[in-house]
Amino acid sequence: MPQEDDIRRAVQDAVRRYLNTPTPSARAMIDAETVNAVPEGGTLEVPPGALVTPLARQAALDRHVTLISTSEAKQTAPESRTIAIGADHGGYALKETLKAMLQTQYTVIDCGTSSSDSVDYPDFALAVAQMVSSGRAWRGIMIDGAGIGSCMVANKVPGVRAALCYDNATAVNSREHNDANVLTLGAGLIGSNLAKQIVETWLKTDFAGGRHAKRVEKIMAVERKYRE
């Protein structure tokens, strides 16, 4: 029969071989801390073979963070991404112009209005923001006369980071630094050509993460504080 020392050595050898065998978790592990570094309502790419801990999955669920594999992220075509767009009567014409442009590349949900008859911008800004907050839309775009009021409304909805942009620089900054998920535009302040450029830039600019992720998380922490 095997001696106790022989058994101990066999167990130690087996443990040593196990520890020295490459595993998915050795390559990458997604834990709750990693998820919590992502702005609420954002997306986290998971490398192939990475281990996602149960606490990380719960944190993602609690903070509405979408976990997506790197391969899926690369394969995600623009047309599979949904954009909610809305406007009041002052932004109706520009909404129709932008909608026609967007429909060639994305899935578009029109939240109204449907004519140039006078309406109240908060109703439509809320509809767009709710589409983004609920996850039914990837991004949201809202147009009124100045874009200011709609931005205020959208930012009242949990999980929404709305930004009023008036040129390409503000479009880039709002995405790179603030991970904005709703764009508001002032139809009375910019022309349709500039609006198209802003929208294209805003949709194609990625969030830079890094030091900006910590700051965006502080924005969301303020929201959570007053939501409790």
Place of tokens 């198209």: 196
64 is catalytic: no
Confidence check: pLDDT of 25 > 50: no
In percent, how much of the chain has pLDDT > 90? 62
Instruction: Give 176-203 pLDDT, tens digit per residue.
Output: 999 999 999 999 999 999 999 999 999 9
Position with higher pLDDT, 50 vs 166: 166
Question: For residue 103, which phi and psi values (nearest 5 degrees)?
Answer: -65, -15
Rounded Cα–Cα distance for residues 133 and 159 (Å): 5
Instruction: Give 7-17 pLDDT, tens digit per residue.
Output: 666 666 665 55
Rounded Cα–Cα distance for residues 53 and 35 (Å): 10
Quick one: pLDDT at residue 46? 84
Instruction: Give 60-101 pLDDT, tens digit per residue.
Output: 888 878 888 766 555 556 667 999 999 999 999 999 999 999
When pLDDT is cut at 50, 70 and 90, the band that residue 34 belongs to is: confident
CA 8 to chain centre: 52
Rounded Cα–Cα distance for residues 43 and 30 (Å): 13
If you ran DSSP here, which 8-state letter would residue 120 be given? Answer: -
Quick one: pLDDT at residue 22? 47
Q: What are the chain's domains?
A: 4-74 (no CATH), 78-204 (3.40.1400.10)
| Pair of tokens at residue 156 | 């009242």
Between the CA of residue 55 and those of 6, 46, 49, 161, 164, what are the distances in Å? 39, 15, 18, 26, 36
Quick one: pLDDT at residue 43? 79
Place of tokens 């929201």: 223
Position with higher pLDDT, 159 vs 54: 159
